[in-house]
Structure 1
């Protein structure tokens, strides 16, 4: 039995706190002893000190939270001689300060295969003890239950649901703030991301500099690449979210919207029903009433978003932009529906066709729920993390 300390970071948004809670319960369900240290509580440091006196086998956190924790001049995990295991649910570029920490037993997991490639390229080969792929598990609502066709048809009164924060109307600010050469380079990179469903910003960067016959010294190239990734990844995520929703509502598709910041934008459209902001549990409950859940994959071209697994385990069929991971793990039209950025204009028609075919959605719901229950519950994720810990002890 492993004794596991899980850090819950200060002000981490609701889904990340839920991840820690669900993972702790999963560790317990498979016979281990999880201890959550919640750094939103004033007693956190005292709680940590108390638990460390007892000892632990490893520390787990999301997005590298408190990897930088030191006692004197040494990192805590090195003093304890235990692995620090983290799941990155964003691009690694946003967590470089934490990832730079010189932790002896540093284990990093990413929810996109290409994020692992980025770490391999940007860090010394011995910096991380282990790197691995790991997507979040699906989280069930207390209202979730399996349904026959009649129940699915009568219970699911939300046609199309999107949950997520409003990121603002995307602006290419570099058009004003950068010289023309740099601005053109950034525009070309963005255009290439949109022209290829499986490109991250770093893929587009490589393509564009090759097309321009540019070669840089390694340090210069990596610095430029890091800048482009850090600047353009967030822009592309904002752009895709905004354009996808605009494409749907302007073609008359009705959307039930849930998340921070949408009120003013939603007021412009009569076919948007805006719920406002609520808890993560509220969102999970909505999924049990949803006929079709829209996912915009946050730029994870080879990875999976928590929204997909949450929807599927609660019986809501998913329509998502393409990902190499979804292509590998799911079957189009059987347990997932996908759309392409290179042909976004067809999305409204695709949504309407499926909303007019409840039987098809019900079948997808059954198949997807089964797939997540077989491979993508939090118990499955807990076992994967335990395997990484056991490998680190070899």
Structure 2
């Protein structure tokens, strides 16, 4: 077996479709034939896929279980998955915490490899699902619209601060958290308060500690079984801090342009400083970053990984201002190609942002350093190359 053809999935979740397209460009340069499965036209696309998928010469590279989450159009009348029938290895890059996807594990093809974008996610998978084949650790990456010498300069950037991402009001999560009554709700809210007070702890690590200490006679298997029920805690905490960071800045007089849905629901004392630009796609986010001096980021609880917002910011000339992760501190330089803040010291954020905006010379130095760092190591071309080198080229 030698892999010559690659299947990628598009037209599902917009962001993941964009990632797939970026990977596909490099796979094509590396000599692979690439087929993009259109999830909006699944049966039409399936007919084309059947002609493309050469047995023992084709692999599927997917995100978040697309193509292997039980889709009926991939299963024949005997219950055999197309990828098993054609001997197609599947490489699944999971961009959320694995506890979101326990329910899909029964549908996995036989030749399956899972890639994590955070080393804590990798440790979780190894601990609770050692039977699943794991690939390389692969952080998310960025996409540039510019060559370094064409990056928009300071005076060409009308936005001081931009945030690209959606916001969900906390009230949306409360019915789910409270659905089993006060005792369960108090337990869940207790975990949430712990994360608010100790925002550096990993999500599954913190939840596990609460389960083991507060649920009588629970076993590790019980913890594993309970983890998918904790998804609302993850979503609540992530949106709490996302909202809190933006709220802290706008209420201190900093104008923040938010490109994403839901920001009209953020309570703040000075809504005039919260400029709601509405929901946009991945390309529009890159264009917004290209007009920003500072790109605000709040990590989606990736404590040992990266988010594409970080590298997108660096590659499009906006200085990235973000909370840190272990991976980011190992690979980036605070005050040189990125600025880190602390989630447990949000009161410092306004002065830190003003400090960036008041020092154009420093900003210009950081813009150049950040672009060079990300362009050298953190594009989707690099990630596709790693998948080729470490997995695809070794399949025999």
TM score, norm. by length of structure 2: 0.89
Query: Per-residue displacement from partner, 1:131-161 (whole Å, max 9, x unpaired)?
Result: 33112321122xx242599x62211221100
Cα distance 1:122–1:39, how it changes in 2: closer, same or farther (>3 A)? same
Q: How many residues align?
A: 387
Alignment correspondent of 1:86: 92
SS in 2 for 1:354: helix
What are the within-5 Å matches in structure 2 for residues 235-384 of structure 1? 235-263=236-264, 265=266, 269-384=271-386
What are the within-5 Å matches in structure 2 for residues 30-179 of structure 1? 30-41=30-41, 43-53=44-54, 56-67=57-68, 68=70, 69-71=74-76, 72-123=78-129, 125-126=130-131, 128-141=132-145, 144-147=146-149, 152-170=153-171, 172-173=174-175, 176-179=178-181
Cα distance 1:315–1:231, how it changes in 2: closer, same or farther (>3 A)? same
Q: Tell me how far 1:381 sits from its aligned partner.
A: 0.8
Q: Tell me how far 1:372 sits from its aligned partner.
A: 1.1
Alignment correspondent of 2:13: 12
Query: Per-residue displacement from partner, 1:320-356 (whole Å, max 9, x unpaired)?
Result: 1121111111111111111111111111111111111
Cα distance 1:314–1:329, how it changes in 2: closer, same or farther (>3 A)? same
Q: Is the contact made by 2:55 and 2:87 (CA closer than 8 Å) also made in structure 1?
A: no
SS in 1 for 2:113: strand
Which deviates the most, 255-264 or 328-337? Answer: 255-264
The CA distance in 1 between the partners of 2:236 and 2:103, in whole Å, is 21
Q: Is the contact made by 1:65 and 1:98 (CA closer than 8 Å) also made in structure 2?
A: no
Which deviates the most, 95-104 or 173-182? Answer: 173-182
Any unmatched runs of 5+ in structure 1? Answer: none
Alignment correspondent of 2:26: 26
The CA distance in 2 between the partners of 1:196 and 1:274, in whole Å, is 30
Cα distance 1:11–1:175, how it changes in 2: closer, same or farther (>3 A)? closer
Cα distance 1:114–1:138, how it changes in 2: closer, same or farther (>3 A)? same
Query: Per-residue displacement from partner, 1:256-309 (whole Å, max 9, x unpaired)?
Result: 111123346599611122222333222212222211100111111111111111
SS in 2 for 1:85: strand
Cα distance 1:239–1:365, how it changes in 2: closer, same or farther (>3 A)? same
Q: Tell me how far 1:29 sits from its aligned partner.
A: 2.0
Q: Is the contact made by 2:141 and 2:378 (CA closer than 8 Å) also made in structure 1?
A: yes
Query: Per-residue displacement from partner, 1:237-270 (whole Å, max 9, x unpaired)?
Result: 1211111111111111111111123346599611
Q: Is the contact made by 2:56 and 2:87 (CA closer than 8 Å) also made in structure 1?
A: no
The CA distance in 2 between the partners of 1:389 and 1:31, in whole Å, is 15
Q: Tell me how far 1:172 sits from its aligned partner.
A: 4.2
The CA distance in 2 between the partners of 1:132 and 1:214, in whole Å, is 37
SS in 1 for 2:278: coil
Cα distance 1:264–1:219, how it changes in 2: closer, same or farther (>3 A)? closer
Query: Per-residue displacement from partner, 1:191-210 (whole Å, max 9, x unpaired)?
Result: 23223343222111233356
CA RMSD of aligned residues (A): 2.6
Cα distance 1:41–1:148, how it changes in 2: closer, same or farther (>3 A)? closer
The CA distance in 1 between the partners of 2:204 and 2:313, in whole Å, is 29
